[in-house]
Chain A
Amino acid sequence: MKPLLAISCFVLIVLSTAFVVHADIPKPKPSQKSGNTTIFSSLEIVPDPKANNAKLQIHQSDLKALRAALDGQSTNTTLATSISHSGPRTIVAGVLLFLSLSFGGVWLARTSRSGATLNRGQKTVAVLLVTAATLGAAAIITRGNAGPPPAYRWKNLPTALAAGESTAGPVMIEVIPDDPNTGTGMVLTIPLKKKNAQGDDE
């Protein structure tokens, strides 16, 4: 009875602390949502000395996504983009993956402790579980920390252009409303930073 009482008191204290702490947190800033539609894709800039005109090549999938964006439909059509972009769903999936790993670990520990050898089916399940866990963890990690920022790939664009080499990197295709003041052409913005005398980014 005493341990139960102690645990209850501890939980109560922790919860009351959490309420106090939560009360000090300022309100979250409202997210700045623009009405523009954004499509995630990749772009390769290829300098071609033999070419007479600038040429823009678009994949069919990107064109479909653009068309869908114009029609006001969902543009998440590719395999990579269709993997969960939803916060709540990612949380549920993460919790379930955690439970899977936990129960899988318990099962493995109990099997090894009982001295029973794993048969072929159980080994297959173990391999599947480890694979699923690895892929899931990789997905969560890549969603949580997507590696170097997109600008990193464009860092050496001027050097590559000067050398006549191609450069590829991620690009966001944004469909914006027509504006008579800014013209009707397309605008490509490359995230390049000015370099100081030592050659470092400012």
Chain B
Amino acid sequence: MQDALDLKPTTWRSTLEAGTTTRLRVFAATLVLCVLASAAFASWIPLPVSIITVFLFAGPHNWFELRYFLMRLPVRFGRSRNFFITAFAGLAVLTCTYFSLPLIYRLSPNSNEWWLTVIAVWNTLFLGWLAVLVWLRSKQKPRSNWTWFLPLTFALCAFNWFSPDFFSLALVYVHPLVALWFLDRHLKRTRPTWVRTYRRCLALLPVVLVLMVWQLQQTTSLPESNGLFWRITQHSGAELLPNVSSHLLVSVHLFLEMLHYGVWLLALPLLGSVVTRSSSGKVWDWKSVPLARHPKGFPKLVGFALGFGVIMVALLWVGFSIDYSTTRDIYFTLAIAHVLAEAPFLLKMI
């Protein structure tokens, strides 16, 4: 007791600062190491690493995203009622229409132009939905001026109508980067002193990308000897960019995907447990989700959603083991739902 009374506040403060600095350095070093390791593996043997990465991490990362979104979902929508109704309605409509695209493709006349128009219409609906969400969010933040989003939306729509397939390919490459934005927002809320270091580390990203392009631009294209390899190269845009080495395209896309998985599977869960500092913050404890914990919450619904998610992840692994190519196709079609769901939750964090 006497020893405790003798402790000086300055000693406490310096010890705390030293601990924070150490953790910040570990965070930055881990981040840089992850970026470099991802780039190295993605450039070295892109096809095998892509197959293994999707097999191992695709399903679990969706489960972690679902949990994160449930954590962010308020018990009562209140002022955000219109925002969330628009978000969920748009999510349902866009996901259903996206699922029906293969059917439309089969039923459509044998015209590439007609198909491109269908894709352009879907992309326009997506951009329109985003614009409405931004507008609804801007009404909740009267101090900020978000009117710039309207001309930007029209410009993106114009680009989409010029070349719908390139716009869709751009979405494939941009989507992994959204996870980095989520991490930025999360740090700003929970660890504001880490944000500057994180952003400095992110400056490494374009440098690594330029190095990858420089190193891989002259490489021979990857073999498309079987259906699976062909699918992977097509997903990265090999058909749209025939003059670019498919090795480069697959590597860059895989690199971004690995960062995406890293954020959802490592960074956000670890930071969450670090921040909450309680046993109830563990990822498998579904009662730690505010939506389930609140007296007026929905514990059964949250428990069912997370339990169903675990079953889906296990089914995905079984599917990958039996028929990797078909399961991959089905997964990337269904995965549009999580791509779309990121938009409203990210907007709520801005």
Contacts and interface: CB of A to CB of B under 8 A. Distances in A.
A100 B151 contact: yes
Contacts of A96: 154-155, 157-158, 161
A107 B151 contact: yes
A111 B159 contact: no
Contacts of B117: 86, 88-89
Contacts of B239: 77
Given A86-B116, A89-B120, A100-B155, A107 B161 contact: no
Contacts of A83: 162-163, 166
Interface stretch (B180-188, B240-248, B338-346): B240-248
Interface stretch (B65-73, B142-150, B298-306): B142-150
B83 to A, nearest CB: 21
B154 to A, nearest CB: 3
Interface residues of A, number: 39
Contacts, number: 100
A112 interface: no
> Interface size class for chain B?
20 to 34
A102 B116 CA distance: 27
Interface string B109-143: 00011001100100000000000000000000000
Interface string A50-61: 000000000011
B150 A107 contact: yes
Of B120, B159, B162, chain A has the most CB atoms within 10 Å of the CB of: B162
B155 A97 contact: yes
A101 B158 CA distance: 11
B248 to A, nearest CB: 14
Nearest to B150: A103
A160 interface: no
Contacts of A82: 163, 165-166, 240
A86 B155 CA distance: 18
Contacts of A100: 151-155, 157-158
B161 A93 contact: yes
Given A77-B242, A89-B117, A107-B147, A99 B154 contact: yes
A97 B112 contact: no
Of B152, B157, B160, B161, chain A has the most CB atoms within 10 Å of the CB of: B161
Contacts of A104: 148, 151, 155
Contacts of B240: 77, 79, 82
A76 B155 CA distance: 24
A157 B153 CA distance: 47
A128 B154 CA distance: 12
Contact of A97 (B113, B150, B154): B154
B113 A86 contact: yes
B147 A136 contact: no
A13 interface: no
A90 B162 CA distance: 6
A122 interface: yes
Contacts of A171: none
Nearest to B121: A92
A107 B166 contact: no
B162 A107 contact: no
A42 to B, nearest CB: 13
B163 A133 contact: no
Nearest to A89: B161
Contact of B116 (A60, A89, A107): A89
A110 B147 contact: yes
B119 to A, nearest CB: 11
Given A89-B116, A103-B151, A116 B145 contact: yes
Contacts of A60: 242
A136 B165 CA distance: 16
Contact of B241 (A79, A116, A126): A79
A61 B151 contact: no
Contacts of B152: 100, 125, 128-129
B195 to A, nearest CB: 15
A126 B148 contact: yes
B242 A64 contact: yes
Nearest to A77: B242
A79 B243 contact: yes
A174 B162 CA distance: 26
A60 B201 CA distance: 40
B38 to A, nearest CB: 26
Contact of B162 (A77, A99, A129, A139): A139
7 contacts: A77-B242, A79-B243, A86-B117, A99-B154, A104-B151, A116-B145, A129-B155
Interface of A: 60-61, 64, 74, 76-79, 82-84, 86, 88-90, 92-94, 96-97, 99-104, 107, 110-111, 116, 122, 125-126, 128-129, 132-133, 136, 139
**Leading 6 A-B pairs by shortest Cβ distance:** A100-B154, A104-B151, A93-B161, A96-B158, A97-B158, A100-B155
Given A82-B165, A100-B155, 6 more contacts: A76-B112, A83-B162, A83-B166, A92-B120, A96-B157, A100-B158
